[in-house]
Amino acid sequence: MESVARGGTRWKRFAVVMVPSVAATAAIGVALSQGALAASFSVSGQSFKVKADELRGYDMLQYGGVDVGVDMEGKKAAHPVAINAFKTAEIDNMCQSIVTHVPLLGDVTMKLTAGGKGTPVKAENIYIDVAQLDSSSATFSNVDIGVAAGHAGDKVPSMKGGSEQANPNGFAQRADKAVIKDVKQTAWATSAGTFELSGFGLSLKKGSGKGIECY
């Protein structure tokens, strides 16, 4: 069975995720581009934008949850999310941006790019915590809707755990493959067993908004 969804698809968050320190982020990004690190990061109290030409994910599990973290004032914060898990994924022409307010400077946008020039970003055991996703089209192959999140079988990734809170008996769906085109999304966190960033680039620009962020 194959299911196709078009336009304003509300999906999930995914990304490479930034850490608070610019220097640390650059070092981690370079290490990831060289295949040196597993990726498991989150932005405390900040969402970020991700744009990509296409995401191809295999052995997908999708379920609802709540990310629990600390906001910029040090207070506990909770964010409802849709968790999309893939055994493996490929991402074409990925851009990720996050805006941080810096005293005396104002907004500063950090932008990360990878997966261009015909070589996609590659990830294994990736979990994407998304608040909203828009795409021109989304195709899911061999869909099983209404499975329990904690009982979707050995073929798909298990629930990730950690600071995420989710009901293992709650509603979920699985699919052999998902193809999402023209991705624009906001996210709170992502994690992956491995994240390979081909053609990695990192830039910092003063300001925010269209033309500075990914979109």
Sign of CA dihedral 95, 87, 117, 6: negative
Mean pLDDT of 52-63: 93
In the structure encoding, which two tokens stand for residue 1, read together? 């069975």
Between these two residues, 175 and 162, which has the higher pLDDT value? 175
Inside any domain, residue 201: yes
In the structure encoding, which two tokens stand for residue 182, read together? 């023209």
**Residue 211 burial (CB count, 10 A):** 8
Inside any domain, residue 213: no
- How far apart CA 187 and CA 199 sit, in angstroms, is 22
Inside any domain, residue 212: no
Read off φ and ψ for residue 25, nearest 5 degrees.
Answer: -65, -45
Number of domains making up the chain: 1
Can you give the residue range of the structural domain that contains 188? Answer: 2-206
User: For residue range 179-196, what is the model confidence (pLDDT) as tens digits?
Assistant: 999 999 988 888 888 888
**Residue 173 burial (CB count, 10 A):** 18
Confidence band, pLDDT 50/70/90 cuts, at residue 1: very low
- How far apart CA 213 and CA 215 sit, in angstroms, is 5
Mean pLDDT, all residues of the chain: 77
Between these two residues, 73 and 204, which has the higher pLDDT value? 204
Inside any domain, residue 110: yes
Residue 31: strand, helix, or coil: helix
CA distances from 198 to 71, 73, 95 (A): 32, 35, 12
Q: What pLDDT is attached to residue 208? A: 95
Range with the poorest average pLDDT among 7-11, 96-100, 121-125, 211-215:
7-11
Inside any domain, residue 211: no
User: For residue range 201-210, what is the model confidence (pLDDT) as tens digits?
Assistant: 989 999 999 9
Mean pLDDT of 68-77: 68
Inside any domain, residue 103: yes
Mean pLDDT of 118-147: 90
- How far apart CA 133 and CA 176 sit, in angstroms, is 20
Q: What pLDDT is attached to residue 3? A: 44
Residue 150 pLDDT greater than 90, yes or no: no
Residues in the chain: 215
pTM of the complete model: 0.75
Inside any domain, residue 214: no
Residue 50 pLDDT greater than 80, yes or no: yes
Q: What pLDDT is attached to residue 113? A: 93
